[in-house]
């Protein structure tokens, strides 16, 4: 059964690697370091205790290494790198989205201001690269790791650019949507799995299956999130199912509805149509069923690549449990 207890050893190893890199705890830490420590949830700075982060990406790195070689230790620097990179993106996302809260606490920019929060994000971005240098691998593999990592950084920024640009556009195509989530969500999950496999000695052909496994996992996960953003149970998701509609977010069900119905596109562009009316129109168009089919398509592809990985080495049970949890599927 997937639970916090079963991953405690992995989380402890990940935290130890990142804390060592960021020299935590430092008795001489000034405000610069406090920003980083606060965002990484190590210090409260007068705020409530944080809701613990899921750390899916570094866990995926370690479990991928374990699937390839039976051990995860060599992949710890890469796990730290992907987690720090993810946290860099959150600091900057909060600024760009003007989000006051992150995991139940004030965001870095709300406490220290936008200019210093940008500095904190830049520092985390640099530390994510510094983490790569700690890997004890042949030079050729380290060069490959840097290439994978830098390509992922570019994909992340491209995805964020598209996501922000959608907010000011009346029309967005489904193809553009998938380019956006492919960069913002799927790229880092694909890199996390591939880097773990690389650290464990996987060949380029084997790494391809890890990358595609993680990438399709990310695509399916984001589509599922879009579905829950409209039809989810608020008591389970923890957020209002009306939020995405009220803010007129360009999610997959909405984009499908706009491509299929001019009446829906007009209603969505209007402030007069209620949330209930919008949701009913989406259901009449079959947008919920269409999005579910797309989710299952990428889920199936993720499982296909995981099966190809298992032809070489049996994947650890925890990796399969994590996959099932993220895909929200029975298989």
- 101 φ, ψ (degrees, to nearest 5): -120, 145
Q: Which tokens belong to 302? A: 């993720």
Q: How far out from the chain centre does Cα 93 lie?
A: 12
Could you read off the pLDDT of 263-301 as tens digits, one per residue? 999 999 988 899 999 999 999 999 999 999 999 999 999
75 and 199 Cβ atoms separated by less than 8 Å:
yes
Q: What is the DSSP string of 62-92?
A: HHHHHHHHS--GGGHHHHHHHHHHHHHHHHH
The pLDDT value given to residue 331: 37
Could you read off the pLDDT of 235-271 as tens digits, one per residue? 665 556 678 898 889 999 999 999 999 999 999 998 8
Looking at every residue in the chain, the average pLDDT score rounds to 93
Would you list the domain boundaries of the chain?
Answer: 5-327
Burial 57-77 (b: 16+ CB within 10 A, else e): bbbbbbbbbbbbbeebebbbb
Instruction: Find the mean pLDDT for residues 186-200.
Output: 98
Could you read off the pLDDT of 79-118 as tens digits, one per residue? 999 999 999 999 999 999 999 999 889 999 999 999 999 9
The number of residues making up the chain comes to 331
Who wins on pLDDT, 104 or 211? Answer: 211
- The CATH superfamily of 5-327 is Farnesyl Diphosphate Synthase (1.10.600.10)
Q: How far out from the chain centre does Cα 195 lie?
A: 15
Who wins on pLDDT, 309 or 6? Answer: 309
Task: Give CA–CA dist 62/75, Å, rounded.
Answer: 6
Query: Where are the alpha helices (H) located in 98-203, listed in sequence order?
Result: 108-112, 114-132, 139-166, 174-181, 187-199
Task: Give CA–CA dist 77/198, Å, rounded.
Answer: 12
Number of CB atoms found within 10 A of residue 155's CB: 19
The pLDDT value given to residue 53: 82
Could you read off the pLDDT of 116-167 as tens digits, one per residue? 999 999 999 999 999 999 999 999 999 999 999 999 999 999 999 999 999 8
């Amino acid at each position: 059964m997937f639970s916090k207890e079963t991953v405690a050893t992995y989380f402890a190893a990940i935290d130890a690697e990142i804390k060592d890199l960021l020299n935590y705890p430092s008795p001489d830490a000034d405000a610069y370091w406090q920003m980083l420590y606060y965002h990484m949830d190590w210090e409260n700075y007068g705020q409530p205790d944080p809701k613990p982060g899921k750390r899916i990406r570094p866990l995926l790195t370690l479990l991928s290494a374990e699937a390839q070689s039976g051990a995860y230790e060599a992949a710890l620097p890469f796990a730290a790198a992907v987690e720090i990179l993810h946290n860099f993106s959150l600091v900057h996302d909060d600024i760009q989205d003007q989000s006051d809260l992150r995991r139940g606490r004030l965001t870095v920019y709300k406490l220290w201001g936008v200019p210093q929060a940008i500095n904190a994000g830049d520092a985390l971005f640099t530390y994510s690269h510094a983490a790569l240098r700690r890997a004890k691998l042949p030079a050729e593999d380290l060069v490959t790791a840097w290439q994978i990592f830098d390509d992922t950084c570019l994909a992340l920024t491209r995805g964020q650019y598209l996501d922000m640009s959608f907010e000011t556009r009346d029309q967005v195509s489904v193809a553009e949507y998938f380019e956006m989530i492919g960069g913002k969500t799927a790229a880092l999950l694909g890199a996390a799995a591939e880097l773990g496999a690389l650290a464990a000695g996987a060949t380029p052909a084997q790494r391809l299956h890890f990358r595609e496994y993680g990438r399709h996992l990310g695509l399916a996960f984001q589509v599922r999130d879009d579905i829950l953003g409209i039809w989810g149970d608020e008591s389970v998701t923890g957020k209002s199912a009306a939020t995405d509609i009220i803010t007129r977010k360009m999610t997959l069900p909405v984009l499908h509805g706009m491509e299929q119905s001019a009446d829906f596109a007009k209603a969505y562009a209007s402030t007069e149509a209620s949330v209930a009316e919008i949701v009913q129109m989406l259901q009449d168009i079959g947008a919920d069923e269409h999005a579910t089919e797309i989710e299952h398509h990428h889920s199936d592809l993720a499982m296909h690549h995981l099966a190809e990985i298992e032809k070489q080495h049996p994947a650890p049970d925890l990796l399969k449990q994590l996959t099932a949890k993220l895909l929200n599927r029975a298989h």
